[in-house]
Structure 1
Amino acid sequence: MGGLSLALKVGDVVEVLSAEEILATLDERGELDSLPFMPEMLRFCGQRLTVHKVANKLCDTMTRTGMRKMEDAVHLTGSRCDGSAHGGCQTACLLYWKTAWVRKVDGPPTAGERVRPERPLLPILEVNTRREPAPDGEERFRCQATELLRAAPELLPFRDLGQYVTDIRVGNSGLWATMRALFFGLFNRYQRLSRRFPRALRIRNGLAWGFVQAGPHTGATPTGTIDLQPGELVRIKSKDEIIATLSTKGFNRGLGFEEDMARSCGRVARVTARVERCIEESTGRMLEMKSPCITLDDIICEGMYKSNCPRAFIPFWREIWLERIGEPS
């Protein structure tokens, strides 16, 4: 049963199956097709939610191999991981729902009454939120994000035009957005190739579209703390101001500033949260941030420069990249 075989499209309403029905689809690792069903997902059981995107592909953020093909999965509006079973991770990933865990229904979405499963249903989920500890005994976690390369093992080349047909057919993106993503992909491939050419043949020195260059700092990068709190209003600084805080490798104290983030420069937004801990996808370690990062309402990665990837990451921002502003009168 796949998202496409079920004919699920963006905007369809589905009902998340009961905990008992979902658990019947899982193996001893609490997975279906190598994708974990996590305890954080139980609170959505019985609810009717809207398909936000068909999860037909994803960008590989662990090994940077490009796009990978995902089968029989969707993202549902309003269903992000709250990290409650994973050490309080604050990444707030958009959850993956295998199509075997939902049924298509008629009528509007409803919040519904949250089902509280019996405790005997939980151990298989809870025990599989952890990996073997690290050699030094450090706790390591296991979640959908850490297992995505197993759940989506097949590479999806940029030249595979079928992915773009699917994007349009299921409503992930329109024709214009798809053509735009193809243009950016072709442009960026030329840019990478042009770095072998004489400088005169390069466009903007071979930078990817968005043209975020590395910063000037060879040592420690500057910091800035303004103690932002959830609900406060901020303006994202200009691209040039942010680049001035980056290292020659494009980071500010380990946090990258990417082309998709540059699209939000100058925007005004409210602070969603101060992020102090998140799981490292490649190792499962919990990273404790010496300097908290900030997340902002309604600012997500739209995948424009990554073949319209539907993962919808929430970017992390350094406080030095933001400025507090007053409430509008």
Structure 2
Amino acid sequence: MKVRTGDWVEVRSKEEILRTLDKEGRLDGLPFMPQMFNYCGQRFRVQANAYKTCDTVSGDYGGLHLPDAVHLDIRCDGLAHGGCQAGCLLFWKNAWLKPIGDADAARALAHSRADDGCTEADVRQAVQHQGTDGETIYSCQATELLNYTRPLKWWDARQYVEAYTSGNRTLPQVGRGLWYLLYYYGTLAFSERWGRPARWLYNRFQAVTGGIPFPRAEGKIPAGQLTPRDDLDLKPGDLVRVKSHEEIRATLDTRFYNRGLYFDAELVPYCGKVFRVGARIERFVDERSGRMRRMKTPAVILDGVVCKSLYSGRRMFCPRAIHLWCREIWLERVSVEASVQAPQPTLAGGCATPHREAAD
């Protein structure tokens, strides 16, 4: 089934999906997770074609290719994974979906397994196991990312063509993204020593056109020096304004970190805008180890604040839409009277580098 962004699809029945899975609850290496059974028989609009995603496991942070998969507007609730609060956008294989109006729901699937294949119990059992030290090791789509994708070279032009042909991006969006890539690398704007003229020219042009200033300006605190914190005790539903980029830079070291949490350039377009707090992050599953981590310093997720992959280099046009985590020192409370209406969560996709602090 060829699916485009915006198409309506129906999640197949539990029985149909189980027929596509191996004994570890996977199709082509991609885990079907227990919470995904809740959506069987329901209809959704395709949020993005998931032909491309980002490597958040190996440390390479490059692009990865994933065939025959999409994102629906469904995020992981973490209930089967120790209450993980990362809220990752789920991957759905095309074989688990059917187009609206397909009356032959029982037809043979392209990846059917033997009759003695996967059961729901197998899917649930594959979620976790005990490590040699007795600690629970979780398995999910994020931890198994490298098992169902392959490396995607930045010079492979097909990925930029597919960003448009899949319906994920418009032609102007693709053009702006490629222009930024060419400028960033072609003028050495990334170089602290040689890129200063290029960054100055970029900011001058953006100031005249009303655009976003250069998004990768480093922090002002020397690396290794303790960065500041501010506890606002934010709760879901609170209204906050993201501080200006200059104010946030004053809280970052020269490696873009504040107390172990990386400030990604993808956050810059949200600076100065008002959002509603969606969740307070206390724990999450580490994609590299599968172990549960707990935050040392508070961080929050804001409704609608996701990576749109505007400044992501090799990951440009990734549709994964990872939540951008915010330190409370990057935010300020806003009263209802003084605020504009908080925006609804965006459906635009992208992927930010989720550098997260280690846990106690």
Q: TM-score range by the shorter chain?
A: 0.7 to 0.9
Deviation at 1:19, TM superposition (A): 1.1
User: 78, 82, 103: which one pairs with 1:83?
Assistant: 78
Deviation at 1:216, TM superposition (A): 0.8
Q: Report the counterpart of residue 147 of structure 2 in structure 1.
A: 150
Q: Tell me the amino acid that sits aligned with residue 68 of structure 1.
A: L
Q: Report the counterpart of residue 323 of structure 2 in structure 1.
A: 314
Which secondary structure state, in structure 1, belongs to the residue aligned with residue 270 of structure 2? Answer: coil
Which secondary structure state, in structure 1, belongs to the residue aligned with residue 326 of structure 2? Answer: coil
Deviation at 1:309, TM superposition (A): 0.6
Deviation at 1:156, TM superposition (A): 1.7
Range 33-42 or range 205-214, more displaced: 205-214
Deviation at 1:219, TM superposition (A): 2.0
Structure 1 Cα separation of the partners of residues 280 and 240 of structure 2: 13
Q: Is the 8 A contact 1:199 1:205 kept in 2?
A: no
Q: Tell me the amino acid that sits aligned with residue 323 of structure 1.
A: E
Q: Report the counterpart of residue 253 of structure 1 in structure 2.
A: 259
Q: 1:200 to 1:89 in 2, by over 3 A?
A: closer
Correspondence 1:215 to 2:220: yes
Q: Is the 8 A contact 1:10 1:54 kept in 2?
A: yes
Unpaired stretches in structure 1, ≥5 consecutive residues: 1-5, 108-119
Q: Report the counterpart of residue 126 of structure 2 in structure 1.
A: 128
Structure 2 Cα separation of the partners of residues 214 and 196 of structure 1: 12
Deviation at 1:205, TM superposition (A): 11
Deviation at 1:249, TM superposition (A): 2.0
Unpaired stretches in structure 2, ≥5 consecutive residues: 103-117, 204-212, 339-360
Structure 1 Cα separation of the partners of residues 21 and 335 of structure 2: 50
Q: Report the counterpart of residue 279 of structure 2 in structure 1.
A: 273
Q: Tell me the amino acid that sits aligned with residue 139 of structure 1.
A: T
Q: Report percent identity of matched pairs.
A: 42
Q: Report the counterpart of residue 189 of structure 1 in structure 2.
A: 185
Structure 2 Cα separation of the partners of residues 199 and 241 of structure 1: 22
Q: Is the 8 A contact 1:195 1:206 kept in 2?
A: no
Structure 1 Cα separation of the partners of residues 145 and 126 of structure 2: 15
Q: Tell me the amino acid that sits aligned with residue 164 of structure 2.
A: I
Structure 2 Cα separation of the partners of residues 13 and 325 of structure 1: 38
Structure 2 Cα separation of the partners of residues 121 and 200 of structure 1: 58
Alignment map for 1:31-110 (pairs within 5 Å): 31-62=26-57, 63-77=59-73, 79-106=74-101
Q: Is the 8 A contact 2:188 2:194 kept in 1?
A: no
Q: Tell me the amino acid that sits aligned with residue 312 of structure 1.
A: A
Correspondence 1:328 to 2:334: no
Q: Tell me the amino acid that sits aligned with residue 227 of structure 1.
A: D
User: 229, 232, 235: which one pairs with 1:229?
Assistant: 235
Q: Tell me the amino acid that sits aligned with residue 97 of structure 1.
A: W
Instruction: Number of aligned residue pairs: give it.
Output: 309
Q: Report the counterpart of residue 168 of structure 1 in structure 2.
A: 164
Structure 2 Cα separation of the partners of residues 194 and 100 of structure 1: 42
Q: Is the 8 A contact 1:212 1:258 kept in 2?
A: no
Structure 2 Cα separation of the partners of residues 152 and 192 of structure 1: 31
Range 138-147 or range 201-210, more displaced: 201-210
Deviation at 1:59, TM superposition (A): 1.5
The TM-score with structure 1 as length reference comes to 0.87
Q: Tell me the amino acid that sits aligned with residue 328 of structure 1.
A: E
Deviation at 1:43, TM superposition (A): 0.8
Which secondary structure state, in structure 1, belongs to the residue aligned with residue 179 of structure 2? Answer: helix
Q: Report the counterpart of residue 22 of structure 2 in structure 1.
A: 27
Deviation at 1:298, TM superposition (A): 1.2
CA displacement, residues 137-160 of structure 1 (integer Å, 9 cap, x when unaligned): 32221100111111112x222222
Structure 2 Cα separation of the partners of residues 65 and 270 of structure 1: 29
Correspondence 1:287 to 2:293: yes
